[in-house]
Amino acid sequence: MPSLTRADAERRAQTLAVTAYAIDLDLTGGDDPEHPTFGSRSTATFTAQPGASSFLDIKAVDVASITLNGAAVDPGTVADGRVELTGLAADNTVVVEATMGYSNDGQGLHRAIDPADGLAYVYGHLFLDAAPRVFACFDQPDLKAPYTLTITAPQAWTVLGNGAATATGPGRWELATTQPLATYFVTICAGPYASVTDEHDGIPLGVHARASLAESLRAQAPAMLQVTKDAFDYYHQLFGIRYPFGSYHQVFVPEFNAGAMENPGCVTFRDTYLFRGAATDDELLTRANTICHEMAHMWFGDLVTMQWWDDLWLNESFAEYMAHRTLTAISGSDDAWVDSTMSRKAWGYAAERAPSTHPVAGSPAPDADAALQNFDGISYAKGAAVLRQLICHLGDEAFVAGITAYLTEHAYGNAALADFLGAMEAASGTDLTEWSKVWLTTAGVDTLAAAMGGDGLRVTRRAPEAVPAQRPHTLDVAGWSGGTQVLAADVVLDQDEVLVRADVAGSVGLLIPNAGDLTWAQVELDAASLTALPVELPRVSQAQHRAVVWVALTDGLATARVDPRLVVDIFVAAWPLEENSSILSRSGALLTSRVLADYLADAEVPSARDAVAGAARARLESAPAGSSQALAAARILAAATRDVEQLQRWSGSVDLPAGLDGDPDFRWLVLRSLAGAGAVSAADLEAAREADHSMQGNLGALAALAALPTAADKAWAWDQLVGDHGRSNHERNALASGFWTGRHTDLVREYVAAFHRDIPALEGRVGQDALARVAALAYPRSVVDEATITATDDRLAVGDLSPAVHRSLVDQQSVLREVLASRRAFG
C-alpha cells in the first residue's frame, strides 16, 4: 500500500476538516488462529468545500459497505488502502462497515495469547499510520477530531481507552468522548487485565497488566503511581496548564514494539517494565523516566500536535528533556541525567555517526514511511540536548514562559517549528534565526577537545566536514588528578578555539571536556588522559564526569581513535569500584556486547573475556548481597565468563548470588551463555521453557535455541525467523538477537547471503516498525569481513527496499565498517 505523502496530506487538509468520529468495534471474534479478525463500524463527520473530492483511508480484510451522505459507495472501489469520496457537501457523514484483521507485529490492533494461562489480550498501537487497520479515517496528524468509541468484548474482559470506559451491559462498553485527537493517538486495550486504581488531584489513575503479571503489578504499582502523582504536580506547576484528558491509565501490554506510546488518557508500555525478578536501580530509573516521558507528551504531542512528521521533534525532544528534568526535580538526584548520558546520548551519537543522520527539525519527510525512520536518537537525545543549550542561550525563565505561551496558543490544535520559535523569541526578546539554523536544521555533531598549556586551558571545536556549522556551545571542563578535582572551568565556545584562564590546583591527570554533559558534542580525550584513565577514572568521584568519559570511549571505539584493548584495561581498573547503576549496566554492556563481541580480534577474545569476568566477579564479591551493584555484576559475569561449570551450577539454581533464587530472567541469561558455548542442548532449553511457561520464557528459549552452535540448530532458527510460522514481532526479535551470538563465523557465514535475500522478503508480512527492528537485529554484523559489506552494497543497489529495511541495512553496515576500521587500526 502506498504511504501517505505530505503533498496528499496538505491537499486533503485544504479540502476538508473532520468534526467527529464515532467508532464501534466488535472484539468477540478473533478465534481463527490463522487470520483472526474483528468488526469495525466507523462514522466520520466532516466539513468540506462543496463539490470537492478527497479520499478516506481503509486497510480492511473486507469492506461490507460504505455510505457517503446516505448514498452507497461501491466497496470495490477501495484500492491501495483508500476510497475516493466525490461530490462532497459542506457537511458530510461517511459510514464504513468492515472486517479488520488483528495483527501480531505490534501495529494496528495487536492480539496476543499469554502462554501462562491461554488468555487473549488486545491493544491498539495506531502509530504511525496504522489507524486505517482499525477504523476508516482521514489518517494524518493535522486532522484532529473528538472520538466516541463503543466496544463489544467478551464478558470477562476489561476495556480501556482514551476516554473513561463504562460498562453498559454484559460485554458492552462506552468510552467518554475525547478531546480532539490525531488518529495515531487512538487506542483500545481489552482483555482480562489485572488493575490497580488510585486518584490524585482529581485525576482517576490506573495501572494494568496481564492477569499472569498481577502479583508483579500489585507489588510495583505503588512506586509507579507515586512517580505519576509527583510528575503531575510538577507539570501542573511548571506549565500552569492542567492535564486535559480526564482519567490517566497506564497499560503494560505484551509484544510492544517501542518502550511506550503516549495515547492520551491510556498510555501503553511494553510489559517487560513489570519486572518478574530482580531489577537494578537503573532499570527502575528507566521505567520512572519512561513514565515521566509519556506524561510530558500529554502536553507536547497530545495537547499540541505537530502539523506534519518533519516536526516530530516538537513531540519527542521535549518529552525526552522534560522527563529527565522532572525526574531530577521529584527525586532530588542527578541520576536521571547520568542515565541520559550513558544510555540516551550514547544512542544518539551512534545515530549521528550513521549515514542516515538528519537534522533535529525539518528533516525531509515526504511520506509517512520516510518519517518513521526519523524516530531515532537524534529526534530524542540530540533534541533534548539542544533544548538544554537553548536554555543556556535564553535562560530558564524565558524558556518556560515561551513553552507556556506555545502550549496555550495551540492547545487542541497543531503547530510547526516556526510557531515554537516565535513563542520563544517573544518570551526572550532574542532572534533565534541563526541559532535554530545551526542547532535545529543542520545535521552533524561537533567534536570538542581540551588541552592544558602554559597560557591556560585551550578548548577547541571541530565541525564535521560534510555539514559544517558554527554551533555555539555552553559547557564546562573538569580536570582530575589522584581523586581530586583540580580544575573546574565554565566555557562559552562560540568559535573554533577559545583560551580560558583557569585556576589549576595541581597537575591535571585527566582532562574532561563537557564534563557536566550540558551540550551535544563528541568528546575527544587527549592522549595523556587516555593513557591515565586506568589509574584516574576509578578515583573520579563525580558520576556525571565518569559517564562522559565512558561515552567518549564508546565514540572513540567507533571512530577507531581508541584501542579496544585499552577499553578492557580501563574496565578492569574502574568497574570493580563503580557505584552508579547506570554506569555499571551500560559500560558492562559495552564490553560484553561490543568489545568482546565485535571489536577485538578472535585471538584477543579469550584473555579479554577472562579479564572482564574477573572484574565482574570482583564487583560481585564487594557489593552488598542482593544490591543493584551485585545484580549488575552477576549479569556481566554470566555474559562474559568462560567458566561453564559455574554457569551450569547457576542454571540449576546452585550457588546463585543472593537475590537471584527463582529469578527466571537471570536463568535465561545464563542459559543463553551456555547455548552460545555449546554447553546445553535444545532438549534442555525446551525443558526450561516448560518450567517457565510464560511469554518471557518463550522469548528466552527462542533466543537461546537460536544461539546453539550447530548447523542444524542455525537452520531451524533461520527458518523460524523468516518462514511463515506465525511468529510475532517479539519472537522474531528474540530469534534474530540470538542467532549471531558467539564467535562462530564459519558456521554462520552462509547466512550473510540468506539475510540479504530473506529479510527484505518479510515486507508485507511484517509492518515497517517491526521490520526495522528485525532487520537491525538480524544483520550479520558478527561476520566481520569486507564480503559482508559488499553483499550489503549489492543488495542496496537493487533499489527495491522499503525505507525501514533500507535504513537498517545502511546503518548496520556503517557499524560493521566501524568495527573493520578499528581492527585495521589496532589489530
Instruction: Kindly list the domain boundaries of the chain, sorted by start residue.
Output: 1-106+120-190, 305-439, 447-519+524-528+547-562, 709-827
CB atoms within 10 A of CB 777: 21
* pLDDT value of position 102: 97
The whole-number average pLDDT for the span 606-626 is 97
What pTM was estimated for this model as a whole? 0.97
Burial of 546 (0-12, 13-18, 19+ CB in 10 A): buried
690 among known catalytic residues: no
* pLDDT value of position 374: 84
Upstream peptide bond of 448 is cis (omega within 30 degrees of 0): no
CA 165 to chain centre: 29
Helix (H) or strand (E) holding 41: strand 37-48
* pLDDT value of position 827: 81
Q: Are 530 and 557 in contact (CB under 8 A)?
A: no
Q: Determine the angle formed by the axes of helices 564-574 and 605-622, rounding to 10 degrees.
A: 20
What are the pLDDT digits (tens) for 253-302?
999 999 999 999 999 999 999 999 999 999 999 999 999 999 999 999 99
Assess whether pLDDT exceeds 80 at residue 505: no
Q: Please, which pLDDT band fits residue 321 given cuts at 50, 70 and 90?
A: very high
Assess whether pLDDT exceeds 80 at residue 511: yes
Cell numbers that stand for 549 in this block: 568519559
Q: Are 573 and 364 in contact (CB under 8 A)?
A: no
Residue 137: strand pairing partners? 57
- What are the strands, taking DSSP E only, across 265-404? 266-270, 305-306
Residue 36 is which amino acid?
A: P
Mean pLDDT for all residues in the chain: 96
Place of cell 531489577: 279
Identify the active-site residue in 283, 294, 524, 536: 294
* pLDDT value of position 369: 86
Q: Are 265 and 249 in contact (CB under 8 A)?
A: yes
Q: Please, which pLDDT band fits residue 32 given cuts at 50, 70 and 90?
A: confident
* pLDDT value of position 615: 98
What are the pLDDT digits (tens) for 207-245?
999 999 999 999 999 999 999 999 999 999 999 999 999
What dihedral do alpha carbons 672, 673, 675, 681 form, nearest 10°? Answer: -90
Q: State the sign of the Cα–Cα–Cα–Cα dihedral 727, 728, 731, 737.
A: positive
The whole-number average pLDDT for the span 511-540 is 98
Cα distance between residue 701 and residue 457, in whole Å:
55
In order of 191, 200, 285, the CA distances from 230 in angstroms are 29, 10, 15
The whole-number average pLDDT for the span 703-720 is 98
What dihedral do alpha carbons 70, 75, 79, 83 form, nearest 10°? Answer: 10
Residue 50 is which amino acid?
A: P
DSSP string, 407-468: HHHTTTSEE-HHHHHHHHHHHH----HHHHHHHTSS---EEEEEEEETTEEEEEEE--SSS-
Assess whether pLDDT exceeds 80 at residue 746: yes
* pLDDT value of position 576: 97
What are the pLDDT digits (tens) for 425-440?
999 999 999 999 999 9
* Opening angle at CA 498, ends 493 and 500, nearest 5: 105
* pLDDT value of position 712: 98
- What are the strands, taking DSSP E only, across 385-427? 414-415
Q: What CATH superfamily is the domain 1-106+120-190?
A: tricorn interacting facor f3 domain (2.60.40.1730)
Q: Please, which pLDDT band fits residue 412 given cuts at 50, 70 and 90?
A: very high
* pLDDT value of position 373: 82
What are the pLDDT digits (tens) for 97-149?
999 999 999 999 999 999 999 999 999 999 999 999 999 999 999 999 999 99
Cell numbers that stand for 236 in this block: 501542573
Q: Are 759 and 775 in contact (CB under 8 A)?
A: yes
Q: At 582, phi and psi to the nearest 5?
A: -65, -40
Q: Are 656 and 687 in contact (CB under 8 A)?
A: no
Assess whether pLDDT exceeds 90 at residue 406: yes
Q: What CATH superfamily is the domain 305-439?
A: Neutral Protease Domain 2 (1.10.390.10)
Core vs surface per residue 211-234: b (16+ CB within 10 A) or e? bbbbebbeebbeebbebbbbbbeb
Sheet holding 147-152, edge to edge: 71-73, 62-68, 91-101, 37-48, 16-26, 147-152, 172-175, 165-169
**Backbone region of residue 742 per phi and psi (left: phi > 0; alpha: psi in -120 to 50; beta: other values):** left
Cell numbers that stand for 410 in this block: 495551540
The whole-number average pLDDT for the span 10-35 is 94
**Short-list 414, 372, 413, CA closest to 128:** 372
Burial of 741 (0-12, 13-18, 19+ CB in 10 A): buried
Assess whether pLDDT exceeds 80 at residue 1: no
Cα distance between residue 388 and residue 827, in whole Å:
39
DSSP string, 626-665: TSHHHHHHHHHHHHH---HHHHHHHHTTSSPPTT-TT-HH
CA 19 to chain centre: 33
Assess whether pLDDT exceeds 90 at residue 689: yes
